[in-house]
A and B are shown apart, each in its own frame.
Chain A
Amino acid sequence: MSELLQGTDVWTLLVIVGLAVVTVVARSFFFISDTAWQLPHWAQRGLQYAPIAALSAVVIPEIVMSQGQLISTWQDARLFAAAAGVGIYFAKRNVLLTILGGMAVYLPLHLGLGF
């Protein structure tokens, strides 16, 4: 137990509990209160576009940037893996094959050729 707790302090644990509360508050933000209110029509329509925008905003920088900069070379395993993944998705409509096929392109290029 002492080995498990090594380097642990109470302040950090309190911050971790705080971060858990932040997770709940963020994920329930607009339904913590159940006071009735109507979302304007334009905002309701706008929500149709939010999920794909959120995913794209998370994913695209992870593919085309490194160290906070746009990459300047095509020799990056992520580009080939992402292209393969998108191709496989639209051919097979299957996310599992997208992951497996993308990694099958990524790992040899990344570990073998150092891309």
Chain B
Amino acid sequence: MMFLSPKLFRHPQFKVGMLELAPQAPGVAAWGLMTGVAMVKSGMSVFESLAMTLLVFAGSSQLASIPLIVAGAPAWVILATGFCVNLRFVVFSLHLRPHLIHLPRWERLMHAYVTADISYVLFTRRFHQPGHTPEERRAQEAYLAGSDCLNWSGWMVASLVGIALANFIPPDWGLGFAGILCLLGVQCSLASSRLRIVSAAVAGAAAVATYALPLKLNIVVAIGAAVILCLTMERFKPQQTPGGHA
């Protein structure tokens, strides 16, 4: 794994990345736990659940594809569904590109593989510009690796525990809601300007209004609607704070 490279985990920013992710770890773990439970409960074999946990590493696409796998849907339908559920990561990759593009392709892909929602959000909250010097770029890379390392390990351990305990944790306890509260907390931490609050409100409303769309496309529609509306409002009402990046 990328985060085992000594040039990264010996870097001081690796620890900073881990420490900034730490408060989110219980939410990630609760979510991983319930994903593990859900896989076994919905009829996947234990071996399939283990393979899916260790390889796919994307909670939302796992949860979306399980019913399709169990129902024996065609492979291309399952993969297309997984991709659509993951479309938000395509937006994230656009955002991360300038920060990672200096690396060799193999390293870029490994970083991308392990960077899920929370690490992406914490990273882009901390680093607004790509590093200007090789040392700055290395520091950003180490921060991302540290954050990913803790996020990945927490998710994996919790999912494996979930698979093991699937028959003892009733899903109707609703422990998975801790994962939603974790995302909600991170969402609040991003609400640093009026237009960002508008973005959250519009995206939330749009996601509810278009919920009936197939393949979780409502999430993509919601991001698009929120971003376009905020860009339009920005044009009519420029931000007062000098240099304020909304």
Contact = CB atoms under 8 A, between A and B. Distances in A.
Interface of A: 4-8, 11-20, 22-32, 34, 39, 42-43, 45-65, 68, 70, 77-78, 81-82, 85-86, 89-90, 93-96, 98-100, 102-103, 106-107, 110-111
Nearest to B86: A26
B159 interface: no
23 contacts: A16-B51, A16-B52, A18-B82, A19-B55, A19-B82, A22-B79, A26-B86, A26-B90, A34-B105, A49-B230, A51-B95, A53-B203, A53-B223, A53-B227, A54-B219, A55-B184, A57-B226, A59-B180, A60-B207, A95-B24, A98-B185, A110-B173, A111-B173
B246 A49 contact: yes
6 smallest beta-carbon distances between A and B, as pairs: A60-B204, A28-B112, A95-B185, A98-B185, A57-B222, A26-B86
Interface of B: 22-24, 26-27, 30, 44-48, 51-52, 55-58, 60-62, 65, 69, 75, 78-79, 82-83, 86-97, 100-101, 105, 108-109, 112-113, 115-117, 120-121, 124-125, 173-174, 177-178, 180-191, 195-196, 199-208, 211-212, 218-219, 222-223, 226-228, 230-231, 234, 245-246
A56 B109 contact: no
Q: Is the interface of A mostly helix, strand, loop or mixed?
A: helix
Contact of A13 (B51, B203, B207): B51
A10 to B, nearest CB: 11
Contacts, number: 284
Given A4-B46, A27-B86, A30-B97, A52 B187 contact: yes
B27 A99 contact: yes
B78 A19 contact: yes
Given A15-B78, A56-B187, A81 B46 contact: no
